[in-house]
Amino acid sequence: QQQVKQSPQSLIVQKGGISIINCAYENTAFDYFPWYQQFPGKGPALLIAIRPDVSEKKEGRFTISFNKSAKQFSLHIMDSQPGDSATYFCAALNTGGFKTIFGAGTRLFVKA
């Protein structure tokens, strides 16, 4: 049972365009929703995160939009650059559960 569903599996965007990756979750006990970025041959690294009491969080060109009632959240990358080409994972956790659950990942390729 996949508790965090992520789409699309892969995404190709032109340089300067907007990249959008969506995630949906089932467990209403989740209380923290991070996004991780992974470059080839490296481990994932935290990109940005949001708590469910906030509908949007922005850090530079990266924005998380959160819809608590729909149990969905998304990552928007504005002005996408070739250096953003990587795999992105959404994740969810609840503090008392000790388990961070990851989505299946989205491979983003930004064309120059």
Partner 1 sequence: NAGVTQTPKFQVLKTGQSMTLQCAQDMNHEYMSWYRQDPGMGLRLIHYSVGAGITDQGEVPNGYNVSRSTTEDFPLRLLSAAPSQTSVYFCASSYSHSSGNTIYFGEGSWLTVV
Q: Is 51 in the site for partner 1 (CB under 8 A)?
A: yes
Give residue 95's identity as a one-letter amino acid code.
Answer: T
Q: What is the DSSP letter of 105?
A: -
Dihedral sign computed on CA atoms, order 22, 25, 30, 31: positive
Stretch that binds partner 1, among 13-21, 44-52, 64-72, 77-85 (CB under 8 A): 44-52
Q: How far is CA 44 from the centre of its chain?
A: 12
111 by DSSP, 3-state: which?
Answer: strand
Q: How far is the CB of 15 from partner 1 (least distance, A)?
A: 26
CB-based contacts of 109: which residues, under 8 Å, 6+ apart?
10, 11, 12, 13, 85
Q: Which of 62, 105, 108, 110 binds partner 1 (CB under 8 A)?
A: 105
Does position 100 interact with partner 1 (CB under 8 A)? The reply is yes
Supply the minimum distance, in Å, between the C-beta of residue 34 and partner 1: 8
Q: Is 98 in the site for partner 1 (CB under 8 A)?
A: yes
Candidate ranges 12-20, 36-44, 62-70, 76-84; the one touching partner 1 (CB under 8 A): 36-44
